Amino acid sequence: MAGREAAKNVLRAQRIELPSWAFGNSGTRFKVFAQQGVPRDPFEKVADAAQVHRFTGVAPSVALHIPWDQVADYAALGRAAADAGIALGTVNANVFQDDDYKLGSVTNPDPAVRRKALDHLFACVDVMDLTGSRDLKLWFSDGTNYPGQDDIRARQDRLAEALSAVYERLSGDQRLILEYKLFEPAFYTTDVPDWGTAYAHCLRLGERARVCVDTGHHAPGTNIEFIVAFLLREQKLGAFDFNSRFYADDDLMVGAADPFQLFRILFEVARAGGLAADSQIAFMLDQCHNIEPKIPGQIRSVMNVQEATAKALLVDTEALAAAQAAGDVLGANGVLMDAFNTDVRPLLAELREEGGLDPDPMAAYARSGYAERIVAERVGGTQAGWGA
């Protein structure tokens, strides 16, 4: 086993960003189930996100989704976040919820629609300038439903044009993070369907363009850790959108469906030095809690990432390298499995106590009374949900 103390040092520096939209109402295309106490505006979402940080200590920022989190005064939102002990993080653009985007946004055959989409992306960069966010995350729902519907290559040209216009607009250490997704809502072709497409576009754009791996955006059976290892080797892995899937883009709690896969992914990250304090990888959650309470759902997810990270850090890399060099297949596999099968919960509890936190974040949150308070206080108004 690799050093417990060394692992704790890395875990202490770990940072996981929360999605503002996880705190709003969500559902499937069949039904959105409202929950009591759900935030009515971005300020209340920020307040809820701060609770997750309060009890876990490793989630000090919240990602925004524009226009869902559009506010008149971003400085005020930033101040509210700071007062609550967190910061505003990645800005996610939304060019998938307007009637004009029926046939696509930046790849739409109509130049006027493309212009509108590009203007929104520019507006997101303006928000970043106001919030001090480093990353602009782009996910496009663009694609086609039927063979022949549009020209696949022309759509790539339009995409490249838009991406380069946005990239030019960035300044300082701002980055463009391009996310891919196999399918949905388009069912025949998707314009950024996989890591290879995202990688090729980012390579052309330049150093500050990186790929986002959303763990729910692959075909069943895809080896995600291979993608992660490859992108890390090319220094093109910009961010994770963590969640779990059983079938399609389920957006369930990360580590719930397949903790072993999460471990394998984080082992590749650790191996590449991606967990270092100065890591250029943004570790984000991208989830929806449709039937479970949202704040505890986020706390559980953060803990799942911590547990998988701890196990990844406990891999005895020297023993692994020796077994690999000797061609000892079973020995090498055994080294990895030993780490995965370690119960790291006591180690994490210890780490929390050392940091002045309750060793059991779920229980501490439940005892805090926050859940009851928001149910009592958040009366009236319109709850945030898909589309707000």
Binding mask 268-287 for Mn ion (x = CB under 5 A): ------------------x-
Half-sphere exposure of 357 (CA within 13 A, CB side): 22
Report the partner that residue 20 touches, choosing among Mn ion, ligand RM4, none (CB closer than 5 to 8 A by kind).
Answer: none
Q: Closer CB to Mn ion, residue 241 or residue 307?
A: 241
Answer for which of 139, 195, 340, 370 binds ligand RM4 (CB under 6 A) is: 139
Judge whether 354 and 379 are in contact, CB under 8 Å.
Answer: no
Query: 15: closest CA among 345, 288, 285?
Result: 285
Answer for which of 135, 150, 191, 241 binds Mn ion (CB under 5 A) is: 241
| Beta pairing partners, 190 | 143
Report the partner that residue 181 touches, choosing among ligand RM4, Mn ion, none (CB closer than 5 to 8 A by kind).
Answer: ligand RM4
Q: Which residue is it, tokens 């709850």?
A: 383
Residue list 181-240, contact with ligand RM4 (CB under 6 A): 181, 214
150 binds ligand RM4 (CB under 6 A): no
User: From the CB of 295, what's the least distance to ligand RM4, in Å?
Assistant: 19
Q: Closer CB to ligand RM4, residue 69 or residue 307?
A: 69
Residue list 30-89, contact with ligand RM4 (CB under 6 A): 65
Identify the burial level of 322 via C-beta atoms within 10 angstroms of its C-beta, where 0-12 means exposed, 13-18 middle and 19 or more buried.
Answer: middle
User: From the CB of 179, what's the least distance to Mn ion, in Å?
Assistant: 5
Answer for which of 249, 268, 307, 358 binds ligand RM4 (CB under 6 A) is: 249
214 binds Mn ion (CB under 5 A): yes
| Window of 10-18, 236-244, 270-278, 320-328 that interacts with Mn ion by CB under 5 A | 236-244
Answer for which of 135, 142, 286, 358 binds ligand RM4 (CB under 6 A) is: 286
135 binds Mn ion (CB under 5 A): no
User: From the CB of 255, what's the least distance to Mn ion, in Å?
Assistant: 16
The residue type found at 134 is: R
Contact footprint for Mn ion (CB under 5 A)? 214, 241, 286
Contact footprint for ligand RM4 (CB under 6 A)? 65, 92, 139, 179, 181, 214, 241, 249, 286
